[in-house]
Amino acid sequence: MKKISIMAAVCALVGGAAMADFKPNTPQAPMGGGFVGGNETIASVKQVKEMRDDVPVIVQGKILQRMGGDKYLFEDATDSITVEIDDEDWRGQTVTPNDTVKLYGEVDSGLFKTEIDVDYVEKL
């Protein structure tokens, strides 16, 4: 009886140790699809101008004009601000001054002016 109890305990330990290595260490990618939204907080340009550097931000409004290079003039109902949008951040979308967009990025607060460094553009 003692041998059976010892063998059962050894099997349980070996089996448990084998299963501990079975779990992947990296997070699994989602399969795709599903509900998105509901948790976004849209900031106004006026609010952005008072935020700290590197704060994540979402703004909604219109891109009025290109100011040169990757700098653009963005405007919402409260104010306007310069935004920096790299080529890949457009994600193949064409945007005109008549289009409403959401810009996802972070505040780039400098000594004399505040801008938004855009991570991606969503055309609405």
**104: CATH:** 2.40.50.200
Closest CA to 74 of 88, 57, 91: 57
Number of independent structural domains in the chain = 1
Q: Is residue 74 part of a domain?
A: yes
DSSP state of 43: B
Q: Is residue 2 part of a domain?
A: no
* Model pTM score: 0.67
Q: Is residue 38 part of a domain?
A: no
Q: Please tell me the total number of residues recorded for the chain in this structure.
A: 124
| Residue span of the structural domain in which 101 resides | 45-123
SS3 121: strand
Q: Is residue 16 part of a domain?
A: no
- Per-residue model confidence as pLDDT tens digits over 23-69: 444 444 445 555 666 678 999 999 999 999 999 999 999 999 999 99
**Predicted local confidence at residue 110, as pLDDT:** 86
